[in-house]
């Protein structure tokens, strides 16, 4: 199963890398509109998101749109053990370079459990199985810990993966620790799972 996940990750990352900067920017803008509509329809007050990097679907327009809509936005801060702490997003000018090429908020750290205050948790991923909601991440385990923490806290947060169109993959390999998400947002649509 690990080899199958590794091969899938390589293929999906290569497909993302083949996109032009213009395609990526257009997708980021459309993704922001879709995700903002989802958050606005759900009466969301607090959103946990992330700052996209590399070829990931861009979250920069979304972060500013969520904040402009009056939502409190939490961003992850990578800890040495790859777990995630959280801090408030106060604007792109208050993001600083961090480990692994990440950008992180410079404000006070709120602790790993702060994510449980979110009504909506937007997760990075490479693919989601449309039949099961199982998400394929990059393999670092940071967001697996977040999902486990949310489950342990009994969080009612809506769990949503942000993807490019075409990254819904049937039959994704799943391990016992893989927790399904509730929905996927792509530049073209929002897909909710039962």
Q: pLDDT digit string (tens) for 16-70?
A: 999 999 999 999 999 999 999 999 988 899 999 999 998 999 999 999 999 999 9
The answer on whether 30 is annotated among ligand-binding residues is no
Q: Which residue has the higher pLDDT, 118 or 7?
A: 118
Within 10 angstroms of residue 60's Cβ, the number of other Cβ atoms is 16
| Nearest alpha carbon to residue 119 among 163, 61, 160 | 160
Average pLDDT over residues 135-163: 92
- Six-digit token string for 184: 């996927």
Residue 140 marked as a ligand binder: yes
Distances in Å between the Cα of 188 and the Cα atoms of 78, 126, 160, 162 are: 30, 16, 15, 11
Is 50 labeled as ligand-binding? no
Decide which of 100 and 129 is more confident.
129
> DSSP letters along 117-174, please?
G-SEEEE--SEE-TTT--EE--SS-HHHHHHHHHHHTT--PEEEEE--TT-B-TT---
Average pLDDT over residues 110-114: 97
pLDDT at 2 over 80: no
The strand ranges marked E within the chain are 46-48, 72-78, 84-88, 95-97, 103-105, 120-123, 127-128, 135-136, 158-162, 183-185, 190-192
What is residue 100's predicted lDDT score, i.e. its pLDDT?
Answer: 84
Beta bridge partners of 168: 128
Is 6 within any annotated ligand binding site? yes
Cα distance between residue 68 and residue 39, in whole Å: 13
Residue 138 in marked binding region: yes
Q: Which is it for strands 46-48 and 120-123: parallel, antiparallel or unpaired? A: parallel
The verdict on whether residue 143 carries a ligand-binding annotation is yes
Is residue 56 a known part of a binding site?
Answer: yes
pLDDT of residue 179: 86
Residue 20, annotated as binding a ligand: no
Q: How confident is the model at residue 1 (pLDDT cuts 50, 70, 90)?
A: low
- Is 135 known to sit in a ligand binding site? yes
- Per residue in 66-87, pLDDT (tens digit) is 999 999 999 999 999 999 999 9
- Classify domain 2-192 at the CATH topology level: Rossmann fold (3.40.50)
> Burial letters for 61-79: b for 16+ Cβ neighbours within 10 Å, e otherwise?
bbbebbbeeebbbbbbbbe
pTM for this predicted structure: 0.94
**Residue spans per domain, the chain:** 2-192
């Amino acid at each position: 199963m690990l080899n199958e996940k590794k091969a899938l990750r390589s293929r999906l990352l290569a497909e993302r890398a083949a996109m032009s900067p213009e395609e990526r920017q257009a997708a980021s803008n459309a993704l922001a509109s879709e995700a903002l509509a989802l958050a606005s329809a759900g009466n969301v007050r607090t959103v946990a998101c992330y700052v996209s990097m590399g070829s990931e679907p861009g979250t920069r327009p979304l972060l500013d749109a969520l904040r402009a809509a009056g939502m409190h936005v939490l961003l992850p801060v990578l800890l040495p053990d790859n777990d995630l702490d959280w801090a408030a997003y106060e604007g792109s000018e208050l993001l600083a370079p961090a480990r692994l090429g990440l950008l992180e908020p410079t404000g006070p750290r709120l602790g790993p459990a702060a994510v449980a205050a979110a009504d909506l948790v937007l997760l990075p991923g490479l693919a989601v199985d449309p039949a099961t909601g199982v998400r394929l991440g990059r393999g670092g385990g940071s967001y697996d810990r977040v999902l486990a923490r949310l489950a342990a806290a009994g969080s009612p947060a809506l769990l949503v993966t942000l993807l490019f169109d075409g990254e819904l993959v049937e039959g994704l390999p799943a391990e016992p620790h893989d927790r399904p998400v509730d929905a996927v947002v792509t530049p073209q649509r929002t897909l909710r799972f039962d």
